[in-house]
Amino acid sequence: MISVAMATYNGEKYLQQQLDSIAAQSILPDELVVCDDCSTDKTIEILENFKQKVSFEVRIFQNEINSGYVKNFARVISEAKGDYVFMCDQDDFWYPNKTEVVLKTFEENPNAQLVAHNAMCTDADLKPLGKTLFEFDVSRGLRYGSAIHGFVTCAKRSYLNYMLPIPYCYSFDRWLSLPAHELKIRYELDTVLGYYRRHENAITFDTIGKSQNFINIAKRKIKSNIRSIKRARSMEEIDYRYTRETSIIEFARRVKANEKLPEWIDEELLNKLESSAKIKVEAFKVRYNAISVTGLERLQRILRAYKKGVYKHFHGFQTALDDLFRYKCN
């Protein structure tokens, strides 16, 4: 069974094109599951009309309150029933062979639990920007194909069974991709299978889509650094990071709870992933102890932790400095 999981919010401008591209697939899905986050435009009307015209099932859920992109996507993935779940944004466009090629990739790579394909980056009118998504990764200093973008991914149910529910501290795509990468069950397919539409309302428009001239890059870095420093020095951020590691440990425990590990799991890699998370959790505990006090005593505890190598598991001196000035948000 094939599911498409789509999150929507005031998407009337581009939604119909995305829906039409799904309906034009050479291998149609068995269901389209949509979770709408309190849209105030014609999004629901467009979805209901589409539902009446297609041969596959369309299930539409509506949040009672606006929950945001992360929680909305987490919910729609949880509602999907398929053995293969294609993640879908409301404003992109799929090539007609997308589902067929991705399913064939899974067939040819039985160990893969997550497939991420390439896409052509375009402007709001689907005019190509001259680079694929994977090429943009390189231009931003990343490894070719390494960036995490949910709309190009499809996950097997056998993997999702261990990954759900999605922890609050992760976006759905990051949570699904990072363990898969470490366990070598994430397959990067260097085939363009859709248009990645970049427009001003897109979440990642500043990094992929907006003119990347010197001024825009400088502005983005300044804004990013200010936000990063402010966020990094809050108590909420350390709690957030701590929960990320405990979530990895819980994932490993769920997998190991079986009498026999799934065939696609490499036990050595799983143990390595779990061990790394446990080491960080213990380091977090030392950091919590240091920041539980204030003034000179906090400085002394942080220095002792630094000398013991606690901060080598994070960003070294920068994280120690963040802990020294860490505060609780109101």
Query: Confidence band (pLDDT; 50, 70, 90) for 81?
Result: very high
Average pLDDT, the chain: 90
- The whole-model pTM stands at 0.87
Q: Are 174 and 102 in contact, with CB atoms under 8 Å apart? A: no
Q: According to the model, what pLDDT value does residue 3 have? A: 98
Instruction: Write out pLDDT tens, residues 96-141.
Output: 999 999 999 999 999 999 999 999 999 999 999 999 999 988 887 7
Q: According to the model, what pLDDT value does residue 305 have? A: 98
Q: Which of 83, 37, 41, 40 is nearest to 60 (CA)?
A: 37
Q: Which residue has the higher pLDDT, 202 or 281?
A: 281
Q: According to the model, what pLDDT value does residue 226 have? A: 57
Instruction: Write out pLDDT tens, residues 193-230.
Output: 999 998 665 444 444 555 555 555 555 555 555 555 56
Instruction: Write out pLDDT tens, residues 287-298.
Output: 999 999 999 999
Instruction: Write out pLDDT tens, residues 219-260.
Output: 555 555 555 556 678 999 999 999 999 999 999 999 999 999
Non-local (6+) Cβ contacts of 172 within 8 A are 70, 73, 74, 77, 87, 150, 166
Q: Are 305 and 290 in contact, with CB atoms under 8 Å apart? A: yes
Q: According to the model, what pLDDT value does residue 203 have? A: 45
d(CA 300, CA 305): 9
d(CA 102, CA 182): 21
Instruction: Summarize the confidence of residues 281-287 as an average pLDDT.
Output: 97
| Helices (runs of H) and strands (runs of E) counted in the chain | 12, 9
Alpha carbon of 65 to those of 61, 187, 203, 212, 286: distances in Å? 12, 36, 20, 36, 38
Q: Which of 300, 282, 279 is nearest to 290 (CA)?
A: 300
Q: According to the model, what pLDDT value does residue 123 have? A: 94
DSSP state of 259: S
How would you write 158-185 as a 3-class SS string?
Answer: HHHHHHCCCCCCCCHHHHHHHHHHHCCC
Residue located via tokens 């860490």:
326
Q: According to the model, what pLDDT value does residue 34 have? A: 98
Q: Which of 39-53, 217-231, 275-289 has the lowest mean pLDDT?
A: 217-231
